[in-house]
Amino acid sequence: MSIKKFELIIAVSFDVTGIARLPRVLHDAGCRVTLYAPSGLAIGKTRFVDSHIQAPTRLGDFVEELRVHLEQRGSSYHWLIIGDELLLGEISKHKTEAWLEAWFPVDVRTNAVELILSKFAFLSAATTANLNVPRLEICRSIEEGRAIASSIGYPVLLKAAYGFNGSGVRVVMHPSDFDKEFHELFSGGELAIQRYVAGPVGMTEVLFDCGVPVCWCSSYKRASWPHRNAASCIRELIDHPDVEAIVRGVGRLTGFDGLGGIDWVHDPNTDSLFLIEFNPRPTPGYHLAEAAGVSFAAGIRSVLSGEPGYEFQSNAKARAKLIHMFPQSTYLAIDRRDPLMLARSLADVPWSDPKLAAAYARRVVTHYMPGSLRQLAKRKLRPPAPRLDPKDVQ
Last residue of a domain, one of 195, 219, 236: 195
Q: Are residues 231 and 303 in the same domain?
A: yes
pLDDT in tens, 34-74: 999 999 999 999 999 999 999 999 999 999 999 999 999 99
Last residue of a domain, one of 301, 325, 349: 325
Q: 360: pLDDT confidence band, cut at 50, 70 and 90?
A: very high
User: Is 123 part of any domain?
Assistant: no
Greater confidence (381 vs 5) lies with 5
For residue 8, the surrounding DSSP H or E stretch is strand 6-11
User: Is 347 part of any domain?
Assistant: no
User: Is 176 part of any domain?
Assistant: yes
Q: What's the number of domains the chain is made of?
A: 3
- What pLDDT, on a 0 to 100 scale, did the predictor assign at position 1? 37
User: Is 316 part of any domain?
Assistant: yes
pLDDT in tens, 363-391: 999 899 776 665 665 565 554 444 434 33
Q: 394: pLDDT confidence band, cut at 50, 70 and 90?
A: very low
Q: Do 288 and 165 contact (CB within 8 A), yes or no?
A: no
User: Is 120 part of any domain?
Assistant: no
269: CATH? 3.30.470.20
CA atoms within 13 A on the CB side of 235: 29
Whether 176 has a pLDDT exceeding 60, the answer reads yes
pLDDT in tens, 105-135: 999 999 999 999 998 899 999 999 999 999 9
- What pLDDT, on a 0 to 100 scale, did the predictor assign at position 332? 95
- What pLDDT, on a 0 to 100 scale, did the predictor assign at position 309? 52
Q: Do 63 and 91 contact (CB within 8 A), yes or no?
A: yes
Q: Are residues 232 and 290 in the same domain?
A: yes
Strands of the 191-195 sheet, one edge to the other: 136-139, 191-195, 156-159, 169-172
161: CATH? 3.30.1490.20
Q: Are residues 245 and 177 in the same domain?
A: no
Predicted model pTM: 0.88
Q: Are residues 153 and 97 in the same domain?
A: no
pLDDT in tens, 145-171: 999 999 999 999 998 877 665 667 889
The range of the structural domain enclosing residue 224 comes to 201-325
**DSSP string computed for 140-196:** SSHHHHHHHHHHH-SSEEEE-SS-STTTTEEEE-SHHHHHHHHHHH-SSS-EEEEEP
Mean pLDDT on 168-194: 91
CA angle 77, 69, 254 (to 5 degrees): 60
User: Is 220 part of any domain?
Assistant: yes
Q: Do 220 and 202 contact (CB within 8 A), yes or no?
A: yes
Distance CA 386, CA 369 (A): 29
Q: Are residues 178 and 219 in the same domain?
A: no
Residue 187 makes CB contacts below 8 A (sequence gap 6+) with none
Q: How far is CA 361 from CA 80, 153, 367, 370, in A?
A: 29, 44, 10, 16
Q: Are residues 216 and 306 in the same domain?
A: yes
Q: Are residues 218 and 321 in the same domain?
A: yes
User: Is 170 part of any domain?
Assistant: yes
29: CATH? 3.40.50.80
pLDDT in tens, 242-255: 999 999 999 999 99
- What pLDDT, on a 0 to 100 scale, did the predictor assign at position 316? 57
Mean pLDDT on 313-332: 79
Q: Are residues 81 and 184 in the same domain?
A: no
Mean pLDDT on 317-325: 76
Q: Are residues 100 and 210 in the same domain?
A: no
Q: List alpha helices for the chain, DSSP H.
A: 22-28, 59-73, 85-92, 112-117, 119-128, 142-152, 175-185, 243-254, 296-305, 328-336, 339-345, 354-368, 371-381
Percent of the chain with pLDDT over 70: 88
Q: Do 355 and 47 contact (CB within 8 A), yes or no?
A: yes
User: Is 350 part of any domain?
Assistant: no
Q: List alpha helices for 30-84, DSSP H.
A: 59-73
